[in-house]
Amino acid sequence: MNKYIKFVLFFVAVFYQLPIYAQSGLTVGGIVMSENGETQIGVSVMVKESPSKGVVSDLDGHFKLSGVKANQTLVFSLIGYDKIEMKVVKSDEKLRIVMKERVNELDEAIVVGHSRQRKISVTGAITNVDVKELKAPATSITNMLGGRVPGIITSQSSGEPGKDFSQFWIRGISTFGAGSSALVLIDGVSGDLNTLDTEDIESFSILKDASATAVYGTRGANGVVLVTTKKGVAGKLSVSLKTNFGVTWSPRTPNYVDGNTYAALANEATMSRGGDPVYSAVDLALFKNGLDPDLHPNVNWRDVILKNASTKQQYHLSLSGGAQVARYYISLGVLNQEALFKQDQGINKYSTNVNYKQYNFRANVDVNLSKTSILTLGLEDIMVTQNYPGYGNSSQSLWDAQASLTPVTVPIIYTSGQLPAYGPTNDQISPYVLLNYSGFQKFYKNTTNLNLQFQQDLSMITKGLNFTALFNMNANSELTTTRYKSPALYYAKTRKRDGTLALEKKRDGADPLFLVDTYVDRKYYFEAHANYERVFDKVHRVTGLVHYYQEDYISSYDRSIPWNTKPLTDLTAIPKRYMGFSSRFAYAYNDTYFAEANLGYTGSEAFEKGKKFGFFPAVSAGWVPTQYKFFTEDLFPFIDFLKLKGSYGQVGNDKMSTRFPYLTVMGVTGSGIWDSGNGYSETQVGSSNLRWETSTKTNFGIEAKFIKNKFDMAIDFFKDVRSGIYLQRASTPEEMGLVTLPFANVGKMKSWGVDGHIAFTQTINKDAYFVLRANLTQSKNQVVDYEEAIVRYPYLSTKGYQWEVSRGLIALGLFKDEADVQNSPKQTFTNSVLPGDIKYKDVNGDGIINDYDVVPLDYSKTPQIQYGFATEFNYKHWNLSVLFEGVSRVSYFSGGTGYYPFAGREVGNILDIVAADHWTSREYSGTAATENPNAKFPRLTYGANANNNRKSTFWLNDASYLRLKNVQLSYQMDGAFLKRVGIKSATFSIIGENLHVWDKVKTVDPEQANDNGAVYPKQRVITIQMNMQF
Amino acid sequence: MKINKWKCIKWFSVLFVSALAFTSCESYLDIDKYVYDKLTIDSVFTQRTRILQYINGTAAYLPDESQLIGDWYYKSKSPSGLGTDEAIVPWADDSHAGSLLYVDGITPQNIANVNPYADYYKGIRKTNIILARIGTSTDLTETERQDYIGRTYFLRAYFYYSLVRLYGPVPILPETAFETDATVDEVSFERNSWDECVEYICSDMEKAAKLLPTSRPIAFPNLPTRGSAYALIARMRLYSASPLFNGGASTVEELSGWKRPDGTNFISQTNDPARWGIAAAAFRRIIDMGKYKLNTWAKIVNSKGSGTLPLPTTSGDVNLTTKVFPDGAMDIDPYKSYKSLFDGSLRPEVNEEYILCNTRSGNDDSYYYPTKHSGKSSYAVTTDMIEQYRMADGRQYKDATAEEKSSNPVGSGTIFSEDYILNADRAKMDDNREPRFYASIGFNYCVWPATSYTGTDNGVKNFVCSYYKGGTSTGDQDHTNYTGYTSRKYVHQEDNLLYGNVNKQKFYPTFRYAEVLLGYVEAMNEMTGTYTGTNVNGESVTITRDPEQIVKYFNQIRYRAGLPGITLADALNVATMRDIIKQEWRVEFFNEDHRYYDLRRWMDAKNAYTKPVMGLDVSQKETARALFYTPRVWNTLPSMKRTWKDKMYFFPFSQSTIDKNGRLVQNPGWK
């Protein structure tokens, strides 16, 4: 169609241009093409200064114009395309002019499952993220989603380089089955968002409801993230370079008491329960005056192993260009992050600091095989190199050690030169030794990804039809080399008579040990689909899709359960395979009424024969009343755009914790006391009739623009009912006598909520405008069905409550006095309780406090609400953007080692808030004033206290926060000076991340509240960045 | 143009279709090629060896009853080893359920690792699978099929028996294995009554007995035989005839009102004297098999003076010294006759007393051996038990003279039965006792020969063990022998536990003929009427209380032990005889997992557990010998503070077991 129009235009233009004749002067000529390299016919080329002079590009897109004077401007124009102006400086007959298609707002397309769809016609719940918003210098795109993208709940638990990624859930957690995370597809193939370079992202969509995800069948229930990477654009070579340099530090670490205070509190802890003091008066004095650093050390371990700040750098270079035959996008990214550990120089020649280096290479090349077919080759390689101290493949042991080693336990090094350890096991070694004397470990990872895509326009069969086939090969390999060593470690309690230390060897020195571990996996993926889109009679738009795919994945370790990687067995070594067909049919009337049906028919090898495939249908509809003039002009003149949409359908989730649970597996056992040779027995009892879990999703959404398009909003209300959640039947009667517990689709859970965003754009004058944005995601859930043993009291049930809701006793404060203890129900966790211990409520009224009094409390540790608001202010070349992010309706229990004072006796640092605010008996302090009924900590105990140290409302805290997540100030230069040195534009930015947080946790970052400071803290980063376009 | 278009259509159709047909859907996702040759439950039953192995795999769920104590790294599946009045250990904790039970430390929430419930039902499920499928297998000969089915019935009955012994009545399940996707409701069953359980067990065992062979090849001494099926029936019948299950429950508050939802009692509340007859007939049947007899060891005569100890001549029982076994003991070595049942001297196939046995695990051993032999010596036999062992001439210990009961050293050592060494320093109270005392008990100055020791430490062989404070076998605080006595029943004179030394393999008699004799005597003693049943050949047999038979069969046990027999006068008095029989159970079956159940079935438990724990005063040093040998009450540790509550008749189900089956009611008294 388009071609015929162009053809006619060409003749018209030629006819028009006939009288024009050549003049002397410069000669310019070349070829005009579209962005994907198609030559453009009939483009009018005129000289701006003398509008009568001009030509039209011919059938091959060529043009030639002579007699142009220097510094005159050529104007290229074509209907439906942006005008291009170009100053002529010298003669050049090999110009390449790329015309950009002007996108009508109505025709703006977004990426949906297996195709692109015009934004207006989308009736499913799809968040299309503006990639510009994802341009902060964060290490992983997952860290940018929280607070920026409606419909996503995120949580980042570590700040360690290489582990500082966020977990995220689309619309919250909606299943308690084996997998609740979303399907991530990069260029159509499942991939890893964490190692994707954000600069390479072309589009980022989140598919949330059944209508959008039904085509993914059994993989789509937890939502789908669709990412496409950049492609080459025809035209001259365009080079873009980004470099940044950041300084990172820990804005918040828990404060521990020093040695002297520690010792005094330890004494109080034992003596307040009738024990002997741990430290004598002499000890206390020596801790204070520091005269005996060997036996009375006072060490702040965090200062010993941590620097104040660390750095990270990032570079990204991309090249793009091409012409008729081929277009390319090639990029190279480098990320280098150092951790905060302070290696003692001069001990080792190698580095033991945690370090994360990532190199990304990507090449996307499009080749026009014919006028109607394009072959795309996508190549990606990601290399990761990580460095660690020899002990452990993360810095976790260092964090544990600094949290558990008190200031008074051992010195950094004995003055006689020996290294200390207070026990033989790994967790009794000082973090200084772990960091500096345990050797080092290197982790190498390589990911190779090859995409081969063939697109064929099938207009010759029928207009609007095209076909795509994609083959993908993905290979991961990992290598971990550990050079572990261990020095001889000593501990001294006393001195010998001659005054030297009575050193006792706690651990022999070990020769360096070399360990190697490898992992590989491989995946291939094939898909083919045909898309159809055509408008009949100008108003009937019909869209169709037929899709087929298959996938095969094999790995050298079973990583199906992320926290428990297991060696392969003959069953887990069977490649994981998927296969599916899906289709979509959509109809739009006059861009006003929309209806869509989606169907997935997918299969998985995980289920038994005849039960491998399932249907996942979804329907949706939309209405855009603003298409009616009477609506916008008469009824609601302030509304510029309004769309109402709804969807309903089913999607599946086939993630399970076991492979092939339907198989009965036999294996060799003994014959027990019969001693009669080998036995044979079921090692897995097959469970019949297993299916995937089914998600029934309902969505209702409103999109609107109003007040001259200044406000732009979208809001979706959703409900997701998961049924048939796959559970091991741990609560079946034991009389069933099954050797292994079977699995069954017995769980049910519902989740519901709302997500949406609103933006306000205001232009102040021609140089300045600002944008205000806000978004919110709320997701609540409730367990509807859960196979559980008989519960004695309804509140002990999992059913009817939020999944993983915090459960604990209800604390009634601290016991006032002995009479209070006597007059209260018996607390059964310890033999006796004293005043100052936590008093609990007898919920069931049976006169005793035990585990039957544990009740569900408010929320879980996954937030129900996540929100963000941002502002962007532009003035001439300046741009300032500020992003706040927050969560609420989230709770956690303080507790565990590092929080409960002295729970590990001589192990575990004491928070300064303990010293400041705990209950002290009048017998110990000499005054009743210290028996503070509202103290933050109960009467101290040296050792475990089963009464106080258990989950209860006493320790329950609110982990809500509001974070100033990102502030970015940029200045863009694009003056003549830069042009002269070959730079199109340059942007300089200074970016601050995680600059402040408002919360109630205070001791540690609220996202890490569960870890009591024994984790790499979330970092604050200040980055300077430069982007240049050549 | 038109041609081109059709070409294209064709071309892409071919491409698309071939892509789809590349692999047809189901076959692409089919994993058959990886698993078709793996064995499934179906293919197991097509192969002879696999069927046998599947039955073996079922047997793997049988409890190892030779593990009586428990430790932090292995747990006894039953509280019965330590939960008696035979001995104490210093710990009443989760590793020692028996001790924890009798100090009332067990709760349904904390059952101290005694939770075999699910395992026994796993075994039961498998037996149901075997019974359902084995009939169609064509790979078995009829003899094999009979044997295998017999084994399976034996297993099913044994699992139920193991359940009811520990828990009392349990649910008897339908005989078809449940579908794996059965609902909770479908597989939740009520407990049957005690009598229903016993009938079910006996019925299965009768089926097993019909099918099982009477003996097994040498290679498989632990496999069940017809005799073992009979023996289990007899034991079950004896239990059911005993007071607790025969009307006595009505006198116990906890058990008297214990009813099923339909109003019937879990345990019969009325006495049925006929049950004793049934039990007696069940034992009689084994006697009549003629296959078993008490183990004896020929009298040892040698020139070294270390032969068989002379038999007592002052007892008044002339048969003892003048007749050959079983009418007397003149031709046997009583110590070895008894000792060789337990210490590995004899392989089971040559041991005609064994009816059912298993290879004994050595897990408990360290609690018996002295520290010098790398043991911990913390299994401490109470004075109460020690006093059950008679003097060599058959007098009760309590009737011994003051000098005989004194702490005075005997002053001279001796060796008897070739390898049993008596040290000169032993106290008179430990001297001149019946041979079973020396075979079973380790006492102060007991010699542990350890003759197989291969090392160089001169102190290991013929080690003289003493339990004084600072004595030769005092362990650390946690491993002290608190009574001055331990069990040597499963210790061979050659053995020690030192690293690198190999001990004799021992066999644990689950059923031995002595039990048949004693059970027969007990049942007959209690009989009041006449019982008519069937004998081993299916012929009618009539049993009545016959004092002569009581004397005859009871005295076999006595003579084997080198003790004078009872008289007809004793046998005529039911009450006298009852006491004699009970004491004989206690001594003959010391540390053989009988006492726990006997105390309960006789309803003697309350009396036994509420007695204070008595032992020698091991807090005394060797210099205070007399004080050391003065028995004292031990109540310094929680594990010594025994108590009795009527709920302890039956062990509680774990709370989680109860919570999973809504129809399973907890044993009475347990909360």
pLDDT tens readout for residues A843-894: 998 888 988 899 999 899 889 999 999 999 999 889 999 999 999 999 999 8
* 3-state secondary structure at position B579: helix
pLDDT at A612: 87
Which residue type is seen at A431? P
Q: Return the bridge partners of A776, or none.
A: A756, A867
Tell me what pLDDT residue A154 has: 87
Q: Are strands A92-99 and A26-34 parallel, antiparallel or unpaired?
A: parallel
Least confident residue range of A216-230, A1009-1023, B525-539 = B525-539
**Chain A residues touching residue B189 (CB < 8 angstroms):** 733, 735
List of E strands, A113-250? 115-118, 126-129, 152-156, 166-170, 183-186, 189-190, 201-207, 224-229, 235-249
Cβ within 8 Å of residue B548, ≥6 positions away: B568, B571
pLDDT of residue B18 exceeding 60: no
- Among A605, A689, A738, the residue with its CB nearest the CB of B125 is A738
Helix axes B142-167, B117-133, angle to 10 degrees: 160
pLDDT at B345: 93
pLDDT bracket for residue B666 (50, 70, 90): very high
pLDDT > 70? residue B19 = no
Mutate one of A465, A674, A675 to test the B interface: name it (highest B CB count within 10 A). Answer: A674
Longest dimension (CA), chain B: 129
Mean pLDDT to the nearest integer, A906-933: 89
Put simply, the answer to whether A526 touches B60 (Cβ < 8 Å) is no
Q: Please give the pLDDT value at position A583.
A: 92
Nearest residue of A to residue B662, measured between CA atoms:
A790
- Would you say residue B600 has pLDDT above 80? yes
Burial B436-468 (b: 16+ CB within 10 A, else e): bbbbbbbbbbbbbbbeebeeeeeebeebbbbbb
pLDDT digits 0-9 by tens, B255-275: 998 999 899 999 999 999 999
Which pLDDT score, from 0 to 100, does residue A218 have? 81
For residue A273, give Cα distances in angstroms to A383, A837, A907, A921, A937. Answer: 57, 11, 19, 10, 15
Q: What is the pLDDT of residue A448?
A: 95
Decide the pairing of beta strands A891-893 and A811-814. Answer: unpaired
Query: Across the interface, which of A570, A670, A744 has its CB nearest the CB of B181?
Result: A744
CB neighbours of B250 closer than 8 A, spacing ≥ 6? B256, B269, B270
Smallest Cβ–Cβ distance between A734 and the set B53, B121, B662 belongs to: B121
Query: Residue A393's pLDDT is what?
Result: 64
Nearest in space to B495 (alpha carbons), one of B447, B458, B448, B463: B448
When pLDDT is cut at 50, 70 and 90, the band that residue B10 belongs to is: low
pLDDT of residue B14: 59
Average pLDDT, chain A: 87
> Residue B404 above 80 pLDDT?
yes
What does the DSSP 8-state code read for residue B330?
T
Q: What is the pLDDT of residue A14?
A: 47
Contact B29 A604 (CB under 8 A): yes
Task: Quick: pLDDT tens for B192-206.
Answer: 999 999 999 999 999
Give residue A29's pLDDT band: very low, low, confident or very high (50, 70, 90).
confident
**pLDDT category of residue B532 using cuts at 50, 70 and 90:** confident
Confidence band for B667, pLDDT divided at 50, 70 and 90: very high
ipTM reported for the complex, 2 dp: 0.89
pTM of the predicted model as reported, rounded to 2 decimal places? 0.80
Across residues A179-185, what is the average pLDDT? 85
The whole-number pLDDT of residue A8 equals 52
Residue count of chain A: 1030
Query: 10 Å Cβ neighbour count for A369?
Result: 12
Cis peptide before B326 (omega within 30 of 0): yes
* Range A209-218 average pLDDT: 86
Chain B contact for A456, CB < 8 A? yes
Q: Per-residue confidence at B21, pLDDT binned at 50, 70, 90? A: low
- Across the interface, do A666 and B16 touch by the CB < 8 Å criterion? no
Q: A685-689: long-range contacts (C-beta < 8 A, 24 or more apart)?
A: A685/A738, A685/A739, A685/A740, A685/A741, A685/A742, A685/B180, A686/A661, A686/A662, A686/A742, A686/B180, A687/A661, A687/A662, A687/A742, A687/A743, A687/A744, A687/B180, A687/B181, A688/A608, A688/A662, A688/B179, A688/B180, A688/B181, A689/A611, A689/B181
B466: tokens are 């003493």
d(CA A411, CA A433): 11
pLDDT of A898 > 80? The answer is: no
State yes or no: pLDDT of A142 exceeds 90: no
- Record the tokens describing residue A332, joined without a space: 């190279």
For residue B584, give both structure tokens.
């004989």
Give the pairing of strands A557-558 and A501-507. unpaired
pLDDT of B507 > 60? The answer is yes
Residue A18 has pLDDT above 50, yes or no: no
pLDDT in tens, A264-318: 999 999 998 888 888 999 999 999 888 888 999 999 999 999 999 999 999 999 9
Task: Assess whether pLDDT exceeds 90 at residue A684.
Answer: no
DSSP H or E segment with residue B642: none
The label of the residue with tokens 């100030």 reads A969
Contact A397, A426 (CB under 8 A): yes
Both structure tokens of A964:
């100033």
Asked if B239 and B601 touch (Cβ cutoff 8 Å), the reply is: yes
Looking at residue B1, its pLDDT comes to: 44
pLDDT band at residue A711, thresholds of 50, 70 and 90? very high
Least confident span in A49-58, A704-713, A848-857, A945-954:
A49-58
What would the pLDDT profile of A811-852 be if each residue is shown by its tens digit? 999 999 999 999 999 888 887 889 999 999 999 988 889 888
- Complete DSSP assignment for A940-1007: --SS--TTTSS-BTTTEEE--EEEEEEEEEEEEE--HHHHHTT-SEEEEEEEEEEEEEEES--SS-GG
pLDDT confidence tier of residue A4, bands split at 50, 70 and 90: low
The rounded distance, in Å, linking the Cα atoms of A755 and A172 is: 11
Residue A561: predicted pLDDT: 59
Residue B444's pLDDT is what? 95
Q: Does A844 reach chain B within 8 Å, measured CB to CB?
A: no
Q: What integer pLDDT is reported at residue A832 of this predicted model?
A: 80
What is the enclosing helix (H) or strand (E) of A161? none
**Which one, of A231, A234, A230, A239, lies nearest residue A323 by Cα?**
A234
pLDDT value of position A741: 87
8 Å CB contact of B57 and A681 = yes
Distant-in-sequence, close-in-space partners of A396: CB < 8 Å, separation ≥ 6: A1014, A1015
Using the Cβ of A685 and the Cβ atoms of chain B, whether some distance falls under 8 Å is answered with yes
To test the contact with chain B by mutation, choose from A568, A665, A671 the residue with the greatest count of B C-beta atoms within 10 A, namely: A671
- pLDDT value at residue B15: 63
Nearest Cα to A157, choosing from A967, A909, A862, A886?
Answer: A862
Q: Range with the lowest mean pLDDT among A60-74, A696-710, B634-648?
A: A60-74
> What is the mean predicted confidence (pLDDT) over A136-143?
77
Please tell me the distance from the alpha carbon of residue A962 to that of residue A588, in angstroms, as a whole number.
Answer: 42
Q: What is the pLDDT of residue A1?
A: 45
Q: How many helices (H) and strands (E) does chain A have?
A: 13, 53
Kindly report the CA angle at A700 between A695 and A705, in degrees rounded to 5? 140
Q: Say how many C-beta atoms besides its own lie within 10 A of residue B96's C-beta.
A: 27
Query: What Rg, from alpha-carbon coordinates, does chain B have?
Result: 29
Report the number of secondary-structure helices (H) and strands (E) in chain B. 24, 14
- CB contacts < 8 A (A, B): 199
Going by pLDDT thresholds of 50, 70 and 90, the confidence category of residue A3 is low
| Mean pLDDT calculated for residue range A968-976 | 86
HEC assignment per residue over B12-64: HHHHHHHHHHCCCHHHHHCCHHHHCCCCCHHHHCCCHHHHHHHHHHHHCCCCC
Distance CA B658, CA B191 (A): 11
Q: Do B29 and A789 touch (CB under 8 A)?
A: no
**Inter-residue contact B523 to B269 (CB < 8 Å):** no
Contact between chains at A736 and B125 (C-beta distance less than 8 A): yes
Q: What is the β-pairing status of strands A109-112 and A848-849? A: unpaired
pLDDT digits (tens, 9 = 90+) for A369-412: 988 899 999 999 999 999 988 876 677 888 888 888 899 999 99
Closest Cα to residue A674, out of B362, B119, B58?
B58
Task: Tell me what pLDDT residue A820 has.
Answer: 92
Number of residues in chain B: 671
- For the ranges A665-674, A678-687, A975-984, B370-379, which has the lowest average pLDDT? A975-984
Look at residue B85 in the predicted model and tell me its pLDDT.
94
Helix (H, G, I), strand (E, B) or coil at A247: strand
Collapsing DSSP to helix, strand or coil, B235 comes out as: helix
- Percent of chain B at pLDDT above 90? 75
- Contact, A920 vs A993, CB < 8 A? no
Structure tokens at B388: 């059950």
Phi, psi of A394 (to 5 degrees): -155, 175
Say which of A671, A676, A790 has its CB closest to residue B662.
A790
* Residues 589-628 in A contacting B (C-alpha not used; CB under 8 Å): 603-605, 609, 612-613
- State whether residue A733 sits within 8 Å of chain B by CB: yes
Radius of gyration of chain A (CA): 34
Q: How far is CA A519 from CA A195, A515, A564, A569, in A?
A: 17, 14, 14, 15
